[in-house]
Amino acid sequence: MAALILGIESSCDDTSVAICRDGKILSNRVADQKVHQEYGGVVPELASRAHQENIVPVMNAALADAGLALSDMDAFAFTRGPGLIGPLLVGASFAKGLSLALAKPLIAVHHMKAHVLAHFIDDPIPEFPFLCLTVSGGHTQLVVVRDFLEMEVVGQTLDDAAGEAFDKSAKLLGLPYPGGPLIDKLGREGDPLRFSFPEPDVGPLEFSFSGLKTSVLRFVQKKRASDEAFVGQHMSDICASIQHSIVSILMRKLAQASEKLGIRQLGIAGGVSANSYLRKQLILKGEEAGWEVFVPDFQYCTDNAAMVAFTGEKQFAAADFADASVEPLARWPF
């Protein structure tokens, strides 16, 4: 009989619990944290505290949705890293407690690998090898996926992540955290070619977003100096143009990587893969270039425990278990 895996995600500011059986997600509950909005970014201590408050009710809701009890579970999977150490500790300690109390195995899941495997939750699923552009708040990586548990980072950012480029640009425009979804929303009404920001000149499989951030800063300073109201009045065009610049960088790199590696099954994963402009551009470019493109369901793009439970099930099948001494890792190489 197929194993029942309970997954826990707490690497940043979303507390999530999901249950997976036989590759199918039976429930996936996510509690986000509004407490960070007024600080312009995630405050790790507040995030840890909110995870502690959320984790039991979120788990109970996930169990109720699936009509199951904790004692039905065959293993407990949790995000070991990378992420914020305080939030990771909450999830890790909770998972260890469940594993000890119920005498069921513990599974330590890599957050970025789980983002990649989100592609395999629902149809259509890619075949191997598959090239995934993983774009989140902390990472921008090109990952070659040869099998569920066999993947390799072949390129990454030299400085900021794509999500940071969205969030930091939004902050410069005076928008609240997290800025990515807001730039997406405001940019929908704007002209993506109205303003231009430079593309970096880095190696074929490398990314860089710090130059873009500086040019957005200079742009905002210059416009505000001559007209205080300019940014507010042209917000949609500015958002659309920044979004266009970030997405152009991502698409160009993906195209170069596909060419270099000879892989034509391509996908995007992580929080930024929820961006509507990126999703649209990937589909358009895919038709043009003859790629087969994959975009995960919205609920599996941003942080969620479904991807953790799903990855946990693959590790369960491979008997890849952790023992009770396992520690969370803020940084965890692939």
Residues found near ligand KG4 in the complex (CB under 6 A): 12, 136-138, 163, 166-167, 178-181, 184, 270-272, 274-275, 302-303
Rounded Cα gap, residues 312 and 154, in angstroms: 24
Residue (2 or 158) nearer to ligand KG4, CB: 158
Residue (105 or 190) nearer to ligand KG4, CB: 190
Beta strands in the chain (DSSP E): 4-9, 14-21, 24-32, 75-81, 106-110, 130-135, 140-147, 150-156, 265-269, 292-294
Asked if residue 136 binds Zn ion (CB under 5 A), the reply is: yes
**Residue 204 beta carbon to ligand KG4: minimum distance, rounded to whole angstroms:** 24
Question: Phi/psi of residue 11, each to 5°?
Answer: -80, -20
Q: Which stretch binds Zn ion (CB under 5 A): 100-108, 132-140, 147-155, 314-322?
A: 132-140
**Residue 10 beta carbon to Zn ion: minimum distance, rounded to whole angstroms:** 11
Q: Which does 182 bind (CB under 5 to 8 A by kind): Zn ion, ligand KG4, none?
A: none
Contacts of 191 (CB under 8 A, 6+ apart): 236, 237, 240, 241
Q: Which stretch binds Zn ion (CB under 5 A): 93-101, 129-137, 272-280, 318-326?
A: 129-137
Rounded Cα gap, residues 61 and 98, in angstroms: 16
Contacts of 128 (CB under 8 A, 6+ apart): 145, 146, 147
**Two tokens at 78?**
């949790």
Q: Which does 274 bind (CB under 5 to 8 A by kind): ligand KG4, Zn ion, none?
A: ligand KG4
Rounded Cα gap, residues 232 and 236, in angstroms: 9
**Residue 275 beta carbon to Zn ion: minimum distance, rounded to whole angstroms:** 14
Q: Which does 10 bind (CB under 5 to 8 A by kind): Zn ion, ligand KG4, none?
A: none
Residue whose C-beta lies closest to ligand KG4:
271
Rounded Cα gap, residues 82 and 334, in angstroms: 10
**Residue 1 beta carbon to ligand KG4: minimum distance, rounded to whole angstroms:** 33
Q: Which does 313 bind (CB under 5 to 8 A by kind): Zn ion, ligand KG4, none?
A: none
Residue (104 or 253) nearer to ligand KG4, CB: 253
Asked if residue 303 binds Zn ion (CB under 5 A), the reply is: yes
Other C-beta atoms closer than 10 Å to the C-beta of 302 total 23
**Residue 277 beta carbon to Zn ion: minimum distance, rounded to whole angstroms:** 19
| Cβ atoms of residues 69 and 75 within 8 Å | no
Q: Which does 163 bind (CB under 5 to 8 A by kind): Zn ion, ligand KG4, none?
A: ligand KG4
Rounded Cα gap, residues 137 and 283, in angstroms: 23
Asked if residue 265 binds Zn ion (CB under 5 A), the reply is: no
Rounded Cα gap, residues 88 and 48, in angstroms: 8
Distances (CA, A) of 82 to 66, 89, 224, 255, 284: 28, 11, 38, 27, 32
Residue (257 or 308) nearer to Zn ion, CB: 308
Residue (13 or 303) nearer to Zn ion, CB: 303
* Contacts with Zn ion, residue ranges (CB under 5 A): 136, 303
